[in-house]
């Protein structure tokens, strides 16, 4: 069986680690340790960024209030 040139030239997929949990549970320390151990990159996003469109979580003004 042969592979197409495109498939064989693609870089291998890298694993993704997502660290989520409540405030002050050690997420940042775990993320830093994992990034250092495995040569990863930390991308930080808090709940307001992750759930920007979930109005029930972010306690934002209503759409009508935002439009005013």
Per-residue pLDDT of the chain (68 residues; tens, 9 = 90+): 566 555 568 888 888 999 988 888 888 889 889 999 999 988 877 766 666 666 665 556 677 777 76
The secondary structure of the chain in percent helix, strand, coil, rounded to multiples of 5, reads 45, 0, 55
Boundaries of every domain in the chain: 15-67
3-state DSSP assignment of residue 6: helix
Q: Are the C-beta atoms of residues 47 and 27 closer than 8 Å to each other? A: no
Structure-token match 């209030």, residue found = 65
Q: Is the dihedral of CA 19, 21, 48, 24 positive or negative?
A: negative
Write out the two tokens for 32: 């830093």
């Amino acid at each position: 069986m042969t592979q197409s040139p495109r498939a064989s030239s693609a870089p291998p997929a890298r694993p993704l680690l997502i660290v989520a949990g409540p405030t002050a549970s050690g997420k940042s320390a775990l993320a830093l340790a994992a990034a250092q151990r495995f040569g990863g990159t930390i991308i930080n996003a808090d709940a307001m960024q992750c759930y920007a469109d979930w109005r029930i979580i972010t306690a934002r003004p209503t759409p009508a209030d935002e439009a005013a």
